[in-house]
Amino acid sequence: MIPRYSPRDVAALFSDEHRFDTMLEVELLAAEGLAERGVLPKDDVKALRVRRPVVDAAFVAAVDERELVTNHDTAAFVDVVQAKIGMPEGAWIHYGLTSSDVVDTALCHTLVLAMDIVITEATALRDALTRRAVETIDWPIIGRTHGMHAEPTTYGAKFSLFALQVQRDLERARRARTSIAVGKLSGAVGTFSNIDPEVEAYVCTRLGLVPVPATQVIARDRHAEVLYACAALGTSMEQFALEVRHLARSEVAEAEEPFAQGQKGSSAMPHKRNPVLSERLCGLARVLRGYLQAGLEDVALWHERDISHSSVERIILPDALQLTVYMLRKATGLADGLVLHRERALENLTEGSLGLVFSHSVLLALIESGMSRDDAYRVVQNAARQAVDERRNFRDVIEADDAVKLSNASLTTIFDPQRLLVHRGRFLDALTWRS
């Protein structure tokens, strides 16, 4: 991932230093598990822990240099660790293991840590959307279907629905974390041919993982589930950002992104306040979905194992987790700082819509007055078209129609937006996590 979209805390988890350090911990725990069962000398294994090398830039460089000879990164890692610990104790490193035992278990541990950050940041986004929902539940705004005026809703209803969607994403992310919190140390084809299952259990327990049956590799549908959780969050953020982009359009002007002192919206047109963050979130969501596609293609491997998934995962897993956290933090800032133009929204609702948002209410009132539904529909449809063509208020056109037998008091009630929003509190009732 390019530095622009790389949160440091997540990037650090996928650094070579952290990767090799986690692999080393798996190796040492495996040796300790073997010693507990009398397979390895306990004093030798204690020496491994005492002489545990520091995994720093110099260590990574040594592995890279050794890989030029071995053409195998895990073998190079094992060679460097053994050399730094020294013999004869160093010979017990990687005893009874295959590369994927170490690499897959270490990767799953790292993905768990990364998913913990994702869950924390997704919770923050959900809570920001929830706060705005509570704040604005009584603020009317035009609802739109097919991009056109429909009936009134409220800002708070919109925020509530976005919060509910992120809550569902949170549940997916938690399930994905559980799915990926696994490990395996069962050998070359997963049959425990050279290592006892109790060693696997020992290592996994100390890493907070659950041992699972596997071939040589942990099944990749688990990794794909992580990528789906990321892609789902990205799509939810895209939906929120897309709404902001529409509401920020000049002819709508019902919301706008926060605009900092000294910020410039355009290099050429000083008046511009473009929804650049929302556009960025929409674009990056496409990238996350692309990672999911690659992750799904990694699931099907030859027999007990091939490495067609490996090169792909080295790119998509670090990038997807970093990008997801980056987007979540930006989306939370957008939700918290979004400027809402309440008066403009009300103006669009009452004047900009010409009152057409009440056409359904007029239809129902005419049916109640004794008209057939089709006759009432035609009256309302013709009046609506006349209002648009003549740029007249829909209520004025309705009142002037001889076919309409509705009192002034009835029309006042019909054209009251609050009457249509009486149940808006149900949106907040659905936000069950609210304190």
Predicted confidence (pLDDT) per residue in 110-120, tens digit: 999 999 999 99
Instruction: Check residue 214 and give its pLDDT.
Output: 96
- Is 420 among the domain residues? no
**Which of residues 52, 79, 95 is at a domain's end?**
95
| Pair 335, 372 in one domain | no
364 is in which domain, residue-wise?
356-414
- Is 206 among the domain residues? yes
- In this prediction, residue 59 has a pLDDT band, given cuts at 50, 70 and 90, of very high
DSSP state of 3: G
| Pair 89, 165 in one domain | no
- Is 424 among the domain residues? no
Mean pLDDT over 73-88 rounds to 96
Mean pLDDT over 169-176 rounds to 98
| Pair 149, 276 in one domain | yes
Q: Which of 72, 193, 266, 311 is catalytic?
A: 266
Mean pLDDT over 156-160 rounds to 98
Mean pLDDT over 337-346 rounds to 96
Can you tell me the distance from the alpha carbon of 212 to that of 33, in angstroms, rounded to the nearest whole number?
17
Instruction: Check residue 207 and give its pLDDT.
Output: 98
- Is 264 among the domain residues? no
Q: How many CB atoms lie within 10 A of CB 121?
A: 22
| Pair 238, 165 in one domain | yes
Parallel, antiparallel or unpaired: strands 210-211 and 182-183: parallel
Instruction: Check residue 267 and give its pLDDT.
Output: 76
Instruction: Check residue 265 and give its pLDDT.
Output: 76
- In this prediction, residue 273 has a pLDDT band, given cuts at 50, 70 and 90, of confident
Instruction: Check residue 435 and give its pLDDT.
Output: 72
- Is 83 among the domain residues? yes
| Pair 29, 57 in one domain | yes
Domain count, the chain: 3
Mean pLDDT over 66-94 rounds to 96
Mean pLDDT over 113-132 rounds to 98
Residues 6+ apart with CB under 8 A from 200: 33, 183, 184, 185, 186, 192, 211
| Pair 252, 129 in one domain | yes
- Is 419 among the domain residues? no
| Chain mean position to CA 104 | 24
- The answer, yes or no, to whether residue 211 has pLDDT greater than 80, is yes
Cβ contact 122:233 at 8 Å = yes
| 214-253 b/e (C-beta count within 10 Å ≥ 16 → b) | bbbbbbbebbbbbbbbbbbbbbbbbbbbbbbbebbeeebe
Residues 123, 124, 127, 128, CA torsion sign? negative
Q: Which two tokens stand for residue 211?
A: 């041992």
What average pLDDT does the chain have?
95
Instruction: Check residue 269 and give its pLDDT.
Output: 85
**Which of residues 95, 110, 145 is at a domain's end?**
95
| pTM of the predicted protein model | 0.95
- Catalytic, 146? Answer yes
Instruction: List the CATH number of the domain containing 69.
Output: 1.10.275.10
| Pair 372, 232 in one domain | no
Instruction: Note if the bond before 140 is cis, omega within 30 degrees.
Output: no
Can you tell me the distance from the alpha carbon of 352 to that of 359, in angstroms, rounded to the nearest whole number?
15
- Is 156 among the domain residues? yes
**Which of residues 50, 66, 95 is at a domain's end?**
95
| Pair 230, 285 in one domain | yes
Q: Which residues pair with 154 in a beta bridge?
A: 140
DSSP state of 357: G
- Tens-digit pLDDT profile for residues 353-362: 999 999 999 9
DSSP 94-161: TTT--HHHHHHHHHHHHHHHHHHHHHHHHHHHHHHHHHHHHHHTT-EEEEEETTEEEEEEEHHHHHHH
- The answer, yes or no, to whether residue 270 has pLDDT greater than 90, is no
- Is 422 among the domain residues? no
Cβ contact 18:60 at 8 Å = no
Instruction: Check residue 271 and give its pLDDT.
Output: 83
- In this prediction, residue 263 has a pLDDT band, given cuts at 50, 70 and 90, of confident
Q: Which of 146, 271, 303, 423 is catalytic?
A: 146
Can you tell me the distance from the alpha carbon of 341 to that of 254, in angstroms, rounded to the nearest whole number?
5
| Pair 161, 248 in one domain | yes
> 3-class DSSP state for residue 364?
helix
- The answer, yes or no, to whether residue 70 has pLDDT greater than 80, is yes
Question: What is the chain's percent helix, strand, coil content, to nearest 5?
Answer: 65, 5, 30
First-to-final CA distance of the chain: 37
Q: Tell me how far CA of residue 179 lies from CA of 18, 173, 182, in angstroms.
A: 22, 10, 7
R_g (Cα) of the chain, nearest Å? 30
Instruction: List the CATH number of the domain containing 183.
Output: 1.20.200.10
Q: Tell me how far CA of residue 177 lies from CA of 107, 112, 426, in angstroms.
A: 13, 6, 31
- The answer, yes or no, to whether residue 219 has pLDDT greater than 80, is yes
- Tens-digit pLDDT profile for residues 349-397: 999 999 999 999 999 999 999 999 999 999 999 999 999 999 999 999 9
| Pair 143, 280 in one domain | yes
Instruction: Check residue 1 and give its pLDDT.
Output: 84
Whose tokens are 């309705």? That residue is: 398
| Pair 396, 334 in one domain | no
- Tens-digit pLDDT profile for residues 285-312: 999 999 999 999 999 999 999 999 999 9
| Pair 86, 110 in one domain | no
- The answer, yes or no, to whether residue 264 has pLDDT greater than 90, is no
